[in-house]
Structure 1
């Protein structure tokens, strides 16, 4: 299976703001004093899309609808994943107002663009039991080696992770990850803020995995699969340096996509090690990161679907 794709689904925001329902366990979110936060976020979004398209990434942009009050719809990777066999997974979401982001119309848009959907695997009934697994926010998929890395949290249930892995034939790599919040070690809400798996390397904040056995097990799997391990600090993780995604542009050229904030946080050595494998593409998304508590990777839902 391919690890990276040249096609991304992105959702243009219409009612972006700080989501009070997600702030209870997303410690990255902060308030911004601005009356036009959605306008600022939309400008950041459009510039980001333009940069991706300028290097040949196929970005399918769909428009949110304003009536439903979906402040986080700019982060579609939490509710859907698209797979090479034509399957689509729909995921259960922690925040009630995020559940409205799941729009089947987007699947019609993809089919209109020439992609084939053979089956929808729907896990959303788990919401009735307050059980959640938030897509490729919770799951870091090593598609090549058929492994799913997951930090257990209020948004990532272990039993549902195992069910997903059985359905999609992934081996689960399960651990706990924490960040320091006002002197306490609290669970990190999404795995994709601490790690990114590219074709030949992995960027990971090992300092968040407090249990030494769990940390050793994660490292064992990454090394077994030949990944060069690029460690980032917890401070860099708070700058969204773990929230990255490798994509493919024109002529098969590879890029590691991240925010400008994440890019600035990296050391010369880290930059050199990444650039051995691919170019870095970064964009300024400060308002989106500050209010949304998510970054560049969260904005991109990878499309691996076959062509019809």
Structure 2
């Protein structure tokens, strides 16, 4: 694993053999069309949505709802439906599937259990909460096989058996074009599994420490940062001071303009956004709550690069995730 960012007490290290493998993988991927903003996404419409008590220990972005369970689930269903319709109106292709389980309260966040890649690979990931492991669905993989050019499925989920986790693009904020993975350390990020990912895809890894208001690591990297085509939103204040310059240098070296977010804005989910490709232009999808937390100057900087598309998902956000978590980007070639 090529590490561009390490703990302050450890020098950055590069293994020549792994770099060679990375270059081979990068050469293969270079034959495919790689875009940072996916033109298609997969979403899951929930029928039994609720904040997941199994996630409370380290997900400090969760909040308790005041609605009845039935009303909470109904509103979540409606929010996902409206969000999918809004994206389709922009020209984004939305693969909308319905949740088929009753014990999968977080199914609305499919980006954690699988990712897709321009070389035709689908990756499935090891999840920390037992209930989240039930979200992995053969029928979803079959749908991808049917509609897209899937070359292989790389299953990393076996790591769960030994207590190791790597929760997809929750913990991996991927720059697909420059092949850099930004990763915050947490209980949901196992560095052995991360190394396997790095070797398979030739991604350099920017690994860093974070701390929320309690001093605990932030559970998912995608809550604190988003990387688009030429713009990045980053909660710099929650990144360890020793790591912060390396994260920012990497982003700027790859041509990204950086918008720095405060802790308060992260808590309003302004960092949990995803750039998508519509029929006419790219759009940055962010919750209405996140957009509302932006200053006028931040919003102007963002919209010079990419239009904001606000989605109203207050019920979903009780579970500690937001717009980006709801979108599993599809980077596979079409059949």
User: 2:288 maps to what in 1?
Assistant: 260
Q: Alignment partner of 2:62: what SS?
A: coil
**Cα distance change, pair 278–115 in 1 and its aligned pair in 2 (3 A):** same
In structure 1, how many angstroms separate the alpha carbons of the residues matched to 2:144 and 2:167? 21
Tell me the equivalent position of 1:279. 307
Q: Does 1:147 align with 2:147?
A: no
How far 1:2 moved relative to its partner? 1.3
Q: What displacement does 1:33 show?
A: 2.2
Matched, 1:297 2:297: no
CA apart distance, 1:66? 3.1
Q: Distance in 2 between the 1:17 and 1:199 partners?
A: 33
Could you tell me which residue of structure 1 aligns to residue 116 of structure 2? 82
Report what 2:261 is aligned to: 232
Normalised TM-score (structure 2): 0.88
Asked whether 1:209 is paired with 2:239, we answer yes
How far apart are 1:301 and its partner, in Å? 0.2
> How much is the aligned-residue C-alpha RMSD, in angstroms?
0.9
- Give matches, 1:126-275, under 5 Å: 126-181=159-214, 185-210=215-240, 212-251=241-280, 253-275=281-303
If the length of structure 1 is used for normalisation, what is the TM-score?
0.96
Aligned residues: 300
Distance 2:225 2:308 in 1: 16
Query: Which residue is equivalent to 1:73?
Result: 107
Shift of 1:79: 0.5
1: CA distance, partners of 2:101 / 2:225: 32
- Could you tell me which runs of 5 or more consecutive residues in structure 1 were left unpaired when the two chains were aligned: none
Residue equivalent to 1:49:
84
CA distance, structure 2, for counterparts of residue 123 and residue 284 of structure 1: 33
Does 2:139 match 1:109? no
Deviations 1:256-305 (A, max 9, x none): 00000000000001000000011100111001001x11000000000011
Aligned residue for 2:58, secondary structure, equals coil
What residue number does 2:64 align with? 31
Q: Secondary structure at the match of 1:59?
A: strand
Residue ranges of structure 2 left out of the alignment (5+ in a row): 1-33
Q: Write the distance in 1 (CA, Å) between the matches of 2:267 and 2:295.
A: 15
Displacement after TM superposition at 1:152 (Å): 0.7
The Cα of 1:50 is off from its aligned counterpart by 1.1
CA deviation map 1:53-75 (0-9, x unaligned): 111110000111134x1000000
Q: Deviations over 1:78-114 (max 9, x none)?
A: 00000111101100001000000000111212233x2
**Whole-angstrom distance in 1 between the partners of 2:106 and 2:255:** 35
